Structure 1
Amino acid sequence: MTTTDRQAPSTVQRARLVLGNWKMHGTLADNAALLAALRQGAGNHCEMGVCVPFPYLAQAESLLKGSTISWGAQDISVHEKGAYTGEVAGAMLRDFGCRWALAGHSERRAMHGESDQLVADKARAALAVGLTPVVCVGETLEEREGGNTLGVIERQLEPVLALGADALARLVLAYEPVWAIGTGRTATPEQAQEVHGAIRVALRGLGVPQVRILYGGSVKAANAATLFAMPDIDGALVGGASLVADEFLRIAAV
């Protein structure tokens, strides 16, 4: 990912995608109100989905089935089944109608020690059962201030790109700078585009420029339009704002 590479323009048209990541939030009552509001207010502006905690997958399926909003999980096991207490297999997620499975969110990498290779293995496990993995990458504030942003992204993506073009064509990538997640700080559109553009060049080199790359990190209705105006930002992975129906719908309607 060189400076010259970053300048290459993007020409492939990609459908916008806005996904919500509820993280460890929700109750049956709160979820019911939120999902009902999303279902009622969703338009045809873009593709929408929510990634909910495992216990609420059945509720999401029940309340969203037949709507334009898809649902998914926040993690997936690399194992198909067996003595792996606390793990959730891809086939189990598929049983609840999931479309998406997050892999490699910075909180999983930091709190659970997930390696770059493990993240790629989780993406492979999702693909094996027909789910779409959403593979997250991003640098810390220290790494950015040290001028190593693109080096970090390249390292995190290396085992994912090694999955090959056929696999890459069936997944989604999400750039989430760690320093912007839940902090209220957001990368400027230009900062985000620099990283998205570099990733796009790598994808183009593998023959899969159509892969969608989302931006995540304190995305709100107030900043979504300027982010989405960038040529290589294909939507958003939304955290806290996805828990507020009106805000999430406004992001999707940009």
Structure 2
Amino acid sequence: MSSLVQNKEAMEKGKEIEQYTVSINDKYLYRMLKRVIDVIGAGLGIVLLLMIFIIVSIAIKVEDPKGPVFFSQKRVGKNGKTFMMYKFRSMVTNAEEKLEELLKQNETTGAMFKMKEDPRVTRIGKIIRKTSIDELPQLFNVLKGEMSLVGPRPPLPREVEIYTDYDKQRLLVTPGCTGLWQVSGRSNIGFEEMVELDLFYITNRNLQFDIKIILKTFLLLFGSKNAF
């Protein structure tokens, strides 16, 4: 990963320089085994976490009876193909409408929006976001083949609109529920660093690497201080 980071750091601000093209570990055996692990892992996860699904659903409804339990949002997947990504609703129902007035308070860099004390987040939302429980419905996206257990996070279309060709390389593989970014600092990492981590993963991904990331992700269930 150091070579990737050094490559980026070598860029001079305001000057156009040549950027490298990542190579992808796209071997058939790896892709086949990765898909098998995705289907088995997502299926087992839904069954084993069913009680959490039920408890969270009830909690969301108790706090806001009129709002939906789940939130679906258009995301950009492999090769720019869009799909609807599922999450437990952790914000008020008109969160997207309120985003415009909060953009000036963005606490991260590049084509992402993060705000530690986002006023749109509900009380139960703060808990499930802190523990990453809000992400669990994405297991259904994995079963559908739209996502993998491990991979780059799927961005919003408005984010991709301002991607450079270099940044778009993170869209060369199936996006994941978790990835190197999430286990390396998550919201404390800026957009450029996230791209570097994603490209490093794409170049070096293998089953051992995927399993290592999945195991590290379980630590988030105990409440990562970097999640918001």
TM-score (norm 1): 0.25
Bigger share in strand:
1
Bigger share in helix:
2
